[in-house]
Amino acid sequence: MNISTLVKKLTPRAIIGPANGEISALHYNSRQVVPGSTFFALRGVAADGHRFIDDALQRGAKAIVYETERPLPPQVTGILVDDARQALALASACYYDDPTKDMLVIGITGTNGKTTVSYLLETLLSSAGRRPAVIGTVNYRFEGQLLASTHTTPESLDLQELAARFHRAGADTLILEVSSHALEQRRVDGIAFDLGIFTNLTPEHLDYHGDLETYFQAKCRLFTGLGSRGPRQAIIDIDDSYGQRLAKQCQGLWSCGLSQEADVHPTVSDISLEGIKASIASPAGDFELCSALRGEFNLSNLLCASAAGLALGLAPAKVAEGLAEATAVPGRLEPVENALGALILVDYAHTADALDKALAAVTDLKPDRIITLFGCGGDRDRSKRPVMGEVAARHSALVVVTSDNPRTEDPGAIIDDIRLGLERVFKGQWSQQQAAEKGCGGYVVIVDRRAAIDFAVSQLGKGDLLLVAGKGHEDYQLIGNQRLHFDDREELRRALQEREGCHGA
């Protein structure tokens, strides 16, 4: 890319130094800068990229994109912009030859349900003959290519590189989970969206956004703040009050939800241990929906996917056929087989609303007893902790409180916050012995998550249900500044084998 091309794309406030010359690469991490590249000084939550301009210069940067002007060597071009993050997004799209302009691009945003809807759409569109790539919370994938996910929505430069890679490999569709952070930080400003989906909005990330209204406005950017790059069609779940507000602002609207006021809604539904069956009414015609997914919240996810398929021109019968093929989503009410006659489920629920919906779904399965194991993340919004504690206590016979990803926060302090909610329902903490003897009506605290899983498994009997919530598909635990391997599903299988071994002996 020539500097002059970059300048035209960014419309900067000022150009300092040479206005021409080839640049070899774009970078936002100064440690990755090589001679001839452009460095974007991004302002972050923990660090300001302007502090690393000298490092980028020492490594041979040819151009610097910054928001605050400072002296540069005469041979280096300074590009002064209002928003370096937006500049990076636009430059990245240009650098990779705008890969999404030739793809069908679907963006999914909302507090809960993004991942499940992405999996449903991947199966649905594949069954319809398209070749979708997915970038989201669990991983980044296209057919044989599977890459580890670092963020729900990667930084704009990485996002464009992934889109270009998948497009070269044959992807004609991009399904993208769009986080509020990504929208606020302009990571998707260079993406050409065709269809946007809004699932719901509940309290989350308030440590970052400050309040729920600011969080909502960040989500709205996908539909109203991307200009010509924004979606021409919108799928909005209007069961959600924020969805109702957003629907009034959207063009090409297909509303969905359990309410009969929605364009796509169920007229009859049956939700059981076997899955979901529903008769769906839509402007394109009625159809019968069958899915292996469980819970009313998954019916909402299926409605979002159904509306998206219909909006893209698929026949109702084709939508029903494609969604029937979708299997369990990793870490979303994912079952763990056992010989105890119990139902063990692992779920990513890490907000009060998600935990409430997951527990409501398993309550509908009518187990003899519900045991819930969960914790809350450290260095994140504290306000949700007591709410999650109260939700768990309200639905469960026994709650096992443990660590999630404590990060740099004291796990005991996190649990103290959770305890405030638990004790709105339960009268006090039990010892493990008391829990084993009484079985119902209380909570235990076991800080070590592995030991907590061992204890929960030891309490299971025939007909019981254990929900292990919070981490879902994650295969790590963040303790201090360390990222340690930890997978709830692996730990459950180990605990089950050890229990079965002890009984066998």
Binding-site residues:
30, 110-116, 152-153, 179, 185, 187, 380, 404-407, 470, 474
CA distance 327 to 126: 14
**Residue 9 near residue 2 (C-beta atoms within 8 A):** no
Q: Is 398 helix (H, G, I), strand (E, B) or coil?
A: strand
Residue 73 CB neighbours (<10 A): 10
Instruction: State the maximum Cα–Cα separation within the chain, in Å, rounded to a whole number.
Output: 78
Complete DSSP assignment for 117-182: HHHHHHHHHHHTT--EEEESSSEEEETTEEEE-SSSS--HHHHHHHHHHHHHTT--EEEEE--HHH
Contacts of 476 (CB under 8 A, 6+ apart): 483, 484, 485, 486
Two tokens at 235?
């799928």
| Known binding-site residue numbers for meso-2,6-diaminopimelate | 380, 404-407, 470, 474
With contact defined as beta carbons under 8 Å apart, do 189 and 227 qualify? no
Complete edge-to-edge strand list for the sheet that includes strand 173-177: 145-148, 139-142, 132-135, 173-177, 104-109, 195-198, 233-237, 253-256
**CA–CA separation, 209 and 184 (whole Å):** 9
Answer positive or negative: Cα dihedral of 316, 322, 325, 326.
negative
Separation of alpha carbons 178 and 188, rounded Å: 8
H-run or E-run covering 464: strand 464-469
Identify the DSSP state of 227: G
Residue in the structure block whose two tokens are 């300092």: 16
Take residue 309 and report the two structure tokens written for it.
Answer: 């398929």
CA distance 142 to 146: 7
Residues making up the binding site for ATP:
110-116
